[in-house]
Structure 1
């Protein structure tokens, strides 16, 4: 049978495309350094929001949703930014699969962080990344992410932060060594001179409280007892006092209206009350690692007699000697006991603890009592016997000294 010809008809096939719609995360960041630039508002939150919003309006058909993430006043070298971490959490959960920024420096100024996220995590998660200033779009132009401009820009952003950090450290070090106070807030007991913010003036009202703290410790009160006394007498804590006087308060300090043993310890150990500036006791580890670390005492910057003293040096030194002793009190105690911090076990060298049994007070080895009965022996002695023995030893030493003096005089 002859095959019939299909004349005048030709079947056509039209390909169909599924337009992918993205869940957009708009990230905005403004650092403190950007705020200090003054007139240059190119990186302002408003300007970034306008640029990202304009892009979204012009490409609205590509997106099914948009969420904004803003970190205002945060450096790009620190990845522990609240909303930056929230953005990454939403990426990991799948809530966001497209991230857009004004430029690469807004996303991160840490070269390793930026490279790790853009080149690795986002690729593995199938996340589209857009940076408007550098014309980077990992979906429409995958090669743009691998373009040499991206790592170079990240390195330049990283180096900018390093140079800025280095200059700031140099300026701070210069001011410290020249006896200029560079703290953001004056220590309790002082205020900043209105005419010179690097000079400290005595705050008479708070200074009286500082003097009372030192006096009470020298009279035998524990730090806990001093704190209880101040709270019971209605004396506001340093933070509460600053708020009461309308003075600036650090956001990093807990808003605690009550005194505590830690506050008392900070006052008792701060040499600034002797009239000396001792700065550089803490520092940030690096421009990338924003953790605070203690600086060895030999590296502190000390400049004597830069401002009026509240506490005499002799008094300060006496207090430091007392604090070296282990003069902790019991939870209900307010006074330091006679032998607190002095008694040590002759065998193991550990502290001797004080205990009360009925009307009797006795001392025993802390190792034997609290750790192990086999590590040491009890070495128990009653308070009255110990007191009599110490008194006898002191009297013997005094008599011996007097006898030697008389012998030499002859």
Structure 2
């Protein structure tokens, strides 16, 4: 494997000549979790890069590539992809960042770019605050770069855990942290994270549970609601009401209502988990591991009716 790697590097050296004069691009990144006051503001990052270029006669500034609100744990960022397109086109020979954390927080990917991709394309990489210049790598850099990248990766995981914990705490305090309220509820005008009953929709929810107890299947319930002209949540919240809307009731829509413990006056903690340090990947938590937070808002369905419906739905196909 080692011999193959050296061969690939040799081929890259033969295909791309080392530039004498460098056309430089400054890459700046700020995620939603970063604190600009710590000196990592976009403006400060650009200023550091421009000052560095002005101090070096072998460099010309070409462009700034800015990813604002983008996590450093993956590299599918709009400005970074544009930067790499300019590298491929030969417009950029040197990439300058404030520090390694602005470039990325995934130490495996950072190492891949620094050790393989950039050398192959003869791209000079400079991290100003880390005193790192790929043209002047020493033996200690082989240790320092991976070590700093690992620390940045650990920091991203720690931030992800803190954000998830903060959301859980707010849920336990009765705050609804979902994107849209379930059918039958709206957000309180005085407290946007508190659910209040929407009376007309709540009556429809009660009918749905009643029909199911009477033996009506979810597809038949959906058909009945469509025949009655009852608007779905999607229909009610359509941004283009004049356009023909396809927001019809379906069996799956009815099933989601019948299985939602929110109608008991409960919120579900940890139904899903967003793993921020993996680029916002959503992880589904098994139902048996859900935690119900009771009495967070007014209930629409009694516990007796709700659990009768759950037993009925688990007994046979509907």
1:233 aligned to which of 222, 229, 233: 229
Q: Between Structure 1 and Structure 2, which shows a larger proportion of helix residues?
A: 2
* Structure 1 counterpart of 2:272: 282
1-structure distance, mates of 2:127, 2:223? 55
Q: Alignment length, in residue pairs?
A: 293
Following the alignment from structure 2 to structure 1, what is the Cα–Cα distance between the partners of residues 87 and 211? 57
Q: Given the alignment of the two structures, is residue 70 of structure 1 paired with residue 66 of structure 2, yes or no? A: yes
Alpha-carbon distance between aligned partners in 2 of 1:231 and 1:103, rounded to the nearest angstrom: 62
Does 2:259 match 1:269?
A: yes
Displacement, 1:108? 0.8
Question: Taking structure 1 as the reference length, what is the TM-score of the superposition?
Answer: 0.59
Contact residue 25 and residue 69 of structure 1 kept, 8 A: yes
Distance 1:71 1:227 in 2: 47
**Larger relative contact order (CA 8 Å, sep ≥ 6):** 2
> Map of 1:335-374 to 2, 5 A cutoff?
none
| Cα distance in 2 for residues equivalent to 1:93 and 1:213 | 60
Q: 1:258 aligns with which of 232, 240, 247?
A: 247
After TM superposition, the structure 1 = structure 2 runs for residues 9-408 of structure 1, keeping only pairs within 5 Å, are 20-34=20-34, 37=35, 40=37, 42-56=39-53, 59=56, 62-63=59-60, 66-88=62-84, 91=87, 96-139=92-135, 141-143=136-138, 146=141, 148-176=143-171, 178=172, 180-181=174-175, 183-188=177-182, 189-193=184-188, 199-215=194-210, 220=216, 222-223=218-219, 226=222, 229-230=225-226, 233=229, 235=231, 237-238=233-234, 241=237, 258-259=247-248, 261=250, 262-285=252-275, 287-288=277-278, 290-321=280-311, 323-324=313-314, 325-327=316-318
How far apart are the structure 1 equivalents of 2:237 and 2:151? 45
Aligned partners of 1:266, 1:43: CA distance in 2, in Å? 44
Structure 2 residue runs without a partner (length 5+): 1-17
**Would the alpha carbon gap of residues 223 and 287 (structure 1) be closer, same or farther in structure 2, given more than 3 Å must change?**
farther
User: CA, structure 1 residues 296+184, in 2 after alignment: closer, same or farther (shift >3 Å)?
Assistant: closer
Give me the whole-angstrom Cα distance separating, in 2, the residues matched to 1:236 and 1:60. Answer: 65
Q: Residues 289-325 of structure 1: CA distance to partner in whole angstroms, max 9, x if unpaired? A: 6421221222111223332112233333344345444
Structure 1 residue 102: Cα displacement: 1.8
Please say if residues 41 and 47 of structure 1, whose CA atoms lie closer than 8 Å, have aligned partners that are also in contact. no
Contact 1:78 1:290 in 2 (8 A): no
Deviation readout 1:307-352 (Å, 9 max, x if unpaired): 211223333334434544433xxxxxxxxxxxxxxxxxxxxxxxxx
| 8 A Cα contact 1:190 1:203, kept in partner | yes
The corresponding residue for 2:9 is none
Query: How far does residue 282 in structure 1 lie from its aligned partner after superposition?
Result: 1.1
Deviation at 1:207, TM superposition (A): 3.2
Shift of 1:31: 0.8
The aligned residue for residue 5 of structure 2 is none
